[in-house]
């Protein structure tokens, strides 16, 4: 099944690998389902069914002019699950912006069919810095991202992906070719989708959604993430009752590429129902 048609007629490209209990993978901004390939292969090789899809406006999916709010994106997720038959005993794993679809699905669709969830480098519960959310990103910084994308997204993404993968003068956790590949994918997205999704993940408050998480949830973040501050991950774990929080010391935002082996191992351990490491109590959950 290469395409799924959503309730508003938008067609989404879907990759469906392996057999077994379904694990639905939701990608980050501004990438596609292909970013999950190294993890999806490990899942499929270990007896799981890995389902990943291109968000509307990105990759090989349709590029409508509307529908980039999280209510619609969560409905898209529900439609992918329905059309692929991943409607029971499923796990949702959201990376970065994709964590928002997980949270909104849990609230808007009552977590139907879900037995566990994971938020990786996720924007949940709230990216915007406010008086009651001091750990967030300042509004001026979020607005500067949108302005840069609108003015010259090709130049913006050339710099953005270095930060995304933690590349600096000394640190080179990924190759220049990997950065180029991510840039290539980002440039296939529509400008409308790229801007509208930046607005959605930057300014949507998911704090009310946290109470809808009624399943074991892994929250994982790199301590050197400069795209989504690690404190945001901690806040998610504190607000989710059955959560386990894991930090990867020194890792940047793009964990699926910079820490592939460890991430795959930790996800497989979590999916098996075991804690990823020894844990200690954290208000609202546990900290690994």
**In the block, which residue shows the tokens 């994971």?**
118
Question: Taking a C-beta distance cutoff of 8 angstroms, is the pair 86, 22 a contact?
Answer: yes
Low-confidence ranges of the chain (pLDDT < 70): 1, 169, 277-288
Q: What percent of the chain has pLDDT above 70? A: 95
76 included as an active-site residue: no
* pLDDT tens profile 231-255: 999 999 999 999 999 999 999 999 9
The domain that contains 281 carries what CATH number?
Answer: 3.40.50.1820
Q: Are strands 48-53 and 21-26 parallel, antiparallel or unpaired?
A: parallel
pLDDT value of residue 279? 42
Which residues, 6+ apart, have CB-to-CB distance to 121 below 8 Å?
Answer: 28, 95, 96, 99, 220, 221, 222, 225, 227, 228, 233, 253, 254, 255
pLDDT value of residue 170? 75
Count: domains in the chain: 1
Q: Could you say which of 61, 96, 116, 243 is catalytic? A: 96
Question: Taking a C-beta distance cutoff of 8 angstroms, is the pair 7, 79 a contact?
Answer: yes
Q: How far is CA 59 from CA 190, 198, 278, in A?
A: 9, 16, 38
Cβ-based neighbour number of residue 268 at 10 Å? 19
Q: Could you say which of 61, 190, 253, 266 is catalytic? A: 253
pLDDT value of residue 275? 81
Helix (H) or strand (E) segment spanning residue 8 = none
225 included as an active-site residue: yes
243 included as an active-site residue: no
Which residues in 65-183 belong to E strands, given as ranges? 90-95, 114-120
pLDDT value of residue 168? 87
pLDDT value of residue 274? 82
- Nearest of 5, 210, 24 to residue 104 by alpha carbon: 210
pLDDT value of residue 281? 41
- Put residue 48 in one of left, alpha, beta given phi > 0 → left and psi -120 to 50 → alpha: beta
Structural domain for 236, as ranges = 3-287
Q: How far is CA 233 from CA 126, 225, 241, 287, in A?
A: 10, 11, 14, 11
pLDDT value of residue 277? 61
Q: Could you say which of 37, 76, 225, 266 is catalytic? A: 225
């Amino acid at each position: 099944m290469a395409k799924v048609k959503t309730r508003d007629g938008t067609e989404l490209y879907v990759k469906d690998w392996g057999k077994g209990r379904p694990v639905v993978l939701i990608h980050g901004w501004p990438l596609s389902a292909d970013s999950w390939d190294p993890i999806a292969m490990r899942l499929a090789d270990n007896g799981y069914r890995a389902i990943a899809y291109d968000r509307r406006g990105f990759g090989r999916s349709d590029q409508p002019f509307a529908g980039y709010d999280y209510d619609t994106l969560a409905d898209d997720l529900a439609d992918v699950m329905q059309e692929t038959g991943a409607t029971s005993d499923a796990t949702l794993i959201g990376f970065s912006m994709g964590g928002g679809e997980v949270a909104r699905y849990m609230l808007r669709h009552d977590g139907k069919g879900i037995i566990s969830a994971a938020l990786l480098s996720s924007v949940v519960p709230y990216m915007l810095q406010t008086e009651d959310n001091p750990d967030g990103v300042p509004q001026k910084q979020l607005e500067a991202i949108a302005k840069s994308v609108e003015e010259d997204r090709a130049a913006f993404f050339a710099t953005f992906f270095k930060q995304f993968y933690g590349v600096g003068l000394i640190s080179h956790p990924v190759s220049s070719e990997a950065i180029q590949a991510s840039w290539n994918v980002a440039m296939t997205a529509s400008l409308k989708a790229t801007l509208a999704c930046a607005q959605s993940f930057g300014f949507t408050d998911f704090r009310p959604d946290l109470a809808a998480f009624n399943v074991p949830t892994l929250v994982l973040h790199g301590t050197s993430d400069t795209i989504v501050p690690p404190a945001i991950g901690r806040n998610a774990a504190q607000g989710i009752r059955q959560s386990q929080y894991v930090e990867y010391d020194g890792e940047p935002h793009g964990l699926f590429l910079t820490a592939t082996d460890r991430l795959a191992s930790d996800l497989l351990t979590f999916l098996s129902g075991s804690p990823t490491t020894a844990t200690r109590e954290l208000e609202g959950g546990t900290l690994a």
